[in-house]
Amino acid sequence: MQLFQLYPLGDSAITVQFGDRIDKAIHAKVRAFSSYLDRHPFTGFVEQVPAYNTVTVYYDPWLASEQGFYNPYTRVTEQLQYILRVAREHGRAAAPRTVEIPVCYNGAFGPDLEFVARHTRLSPQEVIASHARCKYQVYMIGFVPGFPYLGGMAKKLATPRKQNPRPRIPAGSVGIAGNQTGIYPIETPGGWQLIGQTPLRLFDPNREQPSLLQAGDQVKFVSISEDEFWDLKEQAHGA
Amino acid sequence: MGLEIIKPGMLTTLQDRGRYGHQREGIVTSGAMDTFACRVANLLAGNAADEAVLEITLTGPTIRFTEDQLIALTGADLSPELNGEPVAMWRPFLVKEGCVLSFGAHVSGCRAYLAVSGGFDLPRLMGSFSTYLQAGIGGYQGRALKAGDVIPCHSTTPVAMALFAQAAATPEGHNFLAANWTPDPQLYPAYRPNPTIRTVKGPEYERFSEISQGQIWTERFQVSAQSDRMGYRLQGVSLYLSEEAELISTAVTFGTVQVPPEGTPIVLMADHQTTGGYPRILQVVRVDLPILAQVVPGQTIGFEEVSLEEAQQLYIRQEQNLMQLARAIQLKQNI
């Protein structure tokens, strides 16, 4: 069985694909490769984007070819194959980081909590308990800065999107769309069912690492009171 | 102080060669749409390659220089004038305090670039000066320029100072002076309308129906009015997969041609999202991104296939030409 495949994304990127489905074991390979590449970048490496089952590696063909001396695609492919071999031999990446996200599921913060409860035939308390009980895997950051694509929500919480998207969703809103859950890092329009809000800033352009979450992290939601929400919000936005 | 914006024009933003290293955090690269013209503007102004420039879109701004400056204009020809006199592009200019730059009729291309020697005195955000409009960050206050803005500039570079010394002989009554040289016009692209864009096949090319695989090369597509720095929507024939497929989201990039289920292709441009889940039929080669960036909505484009090796050789040749140009400019400026 082929463990991975490489394909070009144009003349300045190569995608390494591990398997063809969304699952944790495949994502563990993504993480191992990605973290090895972080520590051992090659000549001409620009940046990388880890996703569900792929890592896309951007490179500068001019630098990677040593200013035209080598064929850049061949050169980078060789480097990536070497990294794939070494990353496999050196085993798994370090244990993933678990990030706790405090969420206030109360009233105004979760305007669609009642709807989700009715749709799933659970009580609002059961929705909250179930949402805060699971451990979620961050597969990818995309869509807008800092937006985590999370896997691992309990199937019974699945609820379709709103028919009419809201024109403005406050930053920090936690929502459900189909069998996915996510957090809006910045104020945008959107159609997710909003069940709560976190006081944390998922995206802060002035932080050294602007996105709070990174692909590979694990996330746990912790239910907090409205008082705790405002205290934490003050801390997160105070500085 | 810097540049005083009297009229902002249609869309004038600060951009540089792009914000790299944060796409994994969902942060788009932004940067100049035409990175080639942006680089040459910086070269002509005696700047480092990573300085910011103004990206000027179709209807140009009116700008007053509040101090003596060395400037350069490249990219689209939007009929630039200094104090009402038409001026040539792709060469350095000395402008005296109070001089006014304005633009007139659109002649060719879509985006012009203005570099000032020494660069703009603004903070970098995540390593870049580029404005990312959707998130309201970077550039000048995270937004397009408005009337009344004063964009601070660094003091001019020693190169510019040397040129100023020569300019002491500026004819009476003139408060600007054009360099008497310009790079070999062979080195910069002619912005012909309705260009054919060179591409390599995208990762999902083979998944498209046989008809669509043919039509992408033979048909022409109109760049619709809903095209911007994020992407160009292409009107023409609709393209379909041979069988429906649910793809797992992965990275997309500047120049990716993706096709949503309703069949209308979209070319992703400088402010593209970092990831996507639509099938990618083509990928524009890097050297043709500047050509695409200069297409005006309403014009048509076609696609032509090149091999990956050819695409990379074209890019390597362009870098060699730019190196040559940088050396030539250095020689001129050391006189």
What are the two backbone dihedrals, phi and then psi, of residue B267, each rounded to the nearest 5 degrees? Answer: -95, 125
**A65 part of contact set with chain B, CB < 8 Å:** yes
Cβ neighbours of A188 (radius 10 Å) = 19
pLDDT at B253: 98
Number of helices and strands in chain A (H, E): 6, 13
Residues of A in contact with B20 (CB under 8 A): 46-47, 58
Say yes or no for a CB contact (<8 Å) between A142 and B274: yes
Report whether B4 contacts B63 (CB < 8 A). yes
Are residues A78 and A110 located together in one domain of the fold? no
Q: How many Å separate Cα A97 from the centre of its chain?
A: 13
Are residues A83 and A170 located together in one domain of the fold? no
Are residues A62 and A179 located together in one domain of the fold? no
- B86 pLDDT above the threshold of 90: yes
- B258 pLDDT above the threshold of 70: yes
Q: How far apart are CA B59 and CA B115, in angstroms?
A: 18
Q: How far apart are CA A192 and CA A178, in angstroms?
A: 9
pLDDT at B165: 62
Say yes or no for a CB contact (<8 Å) between B251 and A9: yes
Say yes or no for a CB contact (<8 Å) between B248 and A73: no
pLDDT at A1: 43
Are residues A102 and A217 located together in one domain of the fold? yes
Q: Which residues contact B62 (CB under 8 A, 6 or more apart)?
A: B5, B6, B7, B9, B100, B101, B102, B103
**A181 part of contact set with chain B, CB < 8 Å:** no
Q: What's the token pair of residue B301?
A: 């484009």
Among A65, A89, A113, give the residue marking a domain's end.
A89
The per-residue pLDDT for range B169-206, each reduced to its tens digit, is 556 667 788 887 788 877 778 888 999 999 999 999 99
What ipTM, to 2 d.p.?
A: 0.94
Could you identify the residue written with the tokens 């929500």?
A: A153
Are residues A65 and A183 located together in one domain of the fold? no
Q: How far apart are CA A181 and CA A201, in angstroms?
A: 17
**DSSP state, A38?**
H
**A154 part of contact set with chain B, CB < 8 Å:** no
pLDDT at B329: 83
The structure's pTM equals 0.94
Residues of A in contact with B276 (CB under 8 A): 142
**DSSP state, B51?**
-
pLDDT at B134: 87
Residues of A in contact with B309 (CB under 8 A): 71, 73
Question: Of the candidates A54, A72, A215, which has its C-beta nearest B312's C-beta?
Answer: A72
Q: Chain A 12-31, CB below 8 Å of chain B: which residues? A: 12-13, 15, 20-22
Q: How many Å separate Cα A33 from the centre of its chain?
A: 17
Are residues A105 and A213 located together in one domain of the fold? yes
From the candidates B316, B318, B324, which should be mutated to test the interface with A, based on the most A CB atoms within 10 A?
A: B316
Residues of the domain holding A17: 5-89
Q: Where are the domains of chain B?
A: 2-188, 196-315
Q: How far apart are CA B291 and CA B284, in angstroms?
A: 10
Residues of B in contact with A22 (CB under 8 A): 248
Are residues A129 and A230 located together in one domain of the fold? yes
- Per-residue pLDDT of chain A (239 residues), as tens digits, is 457 899 999 999 999 999 998 899 999 999 999 999 999 999 999 999 999 999 999 999 999 999 999 999 999 999 999 999 988 777 666 788 999 999 999 889 999 999 999 999 999 999 999 999 999 999 999 988 999 999 999 999 999 999 888 989 999 999 999 888 999 999 888 889 999 999 999 999 999 999 999 999 999 999 999 999 999 999 988 65
Least confident piece of the model among A75-89, B53-67, B105-119: A75-89
CA closest to B24 among chain A residues: A49
Are residues A67 and A103 located together in one domain of the fold? no
- B114 pLDDT above the threshold of 60: yes
**Nearest CA-CA distance, residue B46 and chain A, Å:** 22
Residues of B in contact with A140 (CB under 8 A): 249, 275
Cβ neighbours of B290 (radius 10 Å) = 23
Are residues A105 and A203 located together in one domain of the fold? yes
Residues of B in contact with A206 (CB under 8 A): 125
Q: How far apart are CA B236 and CA B239, in angstroms?
A: 9
**Count: domains in chain A:** 2
Least confident piece of the model among A10-14, B102-106, B125-129, B167-171: B167-171
Q: How far apart are CA A17 and CA B11, in angstroms?
A: 39
CATH superfamily of the B196-315 domain: Cyclophilin-like (2.40.100.10)
Question: Of the candidates A11, A67, A71, which has its C-beta nearest B200's C-beta?
Answer: A11
Are residues A119 and A233 located together in one domain of the fold? yes
Are residues A109 and A192 located together in one domain of the fold? yes
Question: Of the candidates A12, A20, A211, which has its C-beta nearest B25's C-beta?
Answer: A211
pLDDT at A92: 65
DSSP-derived 3-state class of residue B176 = strand
Q: What's the token pair of residue B241?
A: 């997969």
**Nearest CA-CA distance, residue A237 and chain B, Å:** 17
From the candidates A4, A11, A212, which should be mutated to test the interface with B, based on the most B CB atoms within 10 A?
A: A11
Q: What's the token pair of residue A82?
A: 């070497």
Q: How far apart are CA A34 and CA B152, in angstroms?
A: 40
pLDDT at B190: 80
- B313 pLDDT above the threshold of 80: yes
From the candidates B250, B273, B287, which should be mutated to test the interface with A, based on the most A CB atoms within 10 A?
A: B250
Least confident piece of the model among A163-177, A210-224, B96-110, B150-164: B150-164
Q: Rounded to the nearest 10 degrees, how much is the dihedral formed by the CA atoms of A13, A17, A23, A28?
A: -80
Q: How far apart are CA B13 and CA B90, in angstroms?
A: 20
Q: How far apart are CA A163 and CA B63, in angstroms?
A: 47
A171, A183, A100: which is closest to A134 by C-alpha? A100
Q: Which class for B235: exposed (0-12), middle (13-18), buried (19 or more C-beta within 10 A)? A: middle
Q: How far apart are CA B132 and CA B118, in angstroms?
A: 23
E strand spans, B117-245: 150-152, 176-178, 196-201, 221-223, 231-235
What is the Cα gyration radius of chain A?
20
Mean pLDDT, residues B216-223: 98
pLDDT at A115: 96
- Rounded to the nearest integer, the mean pLDDT of chain B is 92
Report whether B20 contacts B132 (CB < 8 A). no
**DSSP state, B122?**
-
Question: Of the candidates B25, B134, B284, which has its C-beta nearest A146's C-beta?
Answer: B25
Q: What's the token pair of residue B50?
A: 């990573």
Alpha helical stretches, state H, chain B: 35-44, 158-166, 210-218, 289-293, 308-333
Are residues A71 and A103 located together in one domain of the fold? no
